[in-house]
Amino acid sequence: MTYRTGDRDAVVDITGDCAAYVEGRGDGLLHVFVPHATAGIAIVETGAGSDEDLLAALEDLLPADDRWRHRHGSPGHGRSHVMPALIPPYASVPVQDGRLMLGTWQSICLVDLNIDNPQREVRFSFLAG
């Protein structure tokens, strides 16, 4: 799947696409992977401020300033290359009867701090159980 993250730090809820991908597949494990050096996959609550809190925490931990040795693109671009060490480029979610076994408030999200690349690919795979 391709997602447009835009020109600012983003948390994009991709749960609906994940759910559609596993529908009718039975039991198993969904694996979500983003093949980019500057993006990650997180399982977080969205819509109640947690997505904004996540971005604020990342800004505190990884400020968009000139401290980074990796320097090309927009100011602070190097932080985007450090972020996947904190928010990995993958997540695995159990699936039962073709349904994601997420908790009540959990969503699967693409996290992107790289404003220089506004389009991201996310790959889904399914391991039948």
Residue 77 has what pLDDT?
84
Q: For the chain, what is the domain count? A: 1
Please report, for the chain, how many H helices and E strands are present, in that order.
3, 9
Residue 71 has what pLDDT?
76
- The parent domain of residue 67 ranges over 2-128
Higher pLDDT, 6 or 43: 43
For the cut 90, the answer to whether the pLDDT of residue 66 exceeds it is no
- Read off the CATH number of the domain in which 68 is found: 2.60.120.460
Residue 40 has what pLDDT?
97
Sequence-distant (6+) residues with CB within 8 A of 108 are 13, 14, 15, 18, 32, 41, 42, 43, 91, 93, 100, 102
DSSP annotation string for 32-89: EE---TTEEEEEE--SSSHHHHHHHHHHHHS-SSTT-S---SSTTTHHHHHGGGTS-S
pTM recorded for the entire structure = 0.93
In tens, the pLDDT along 80-103 reads 999 999 999 999 999 999 999 999
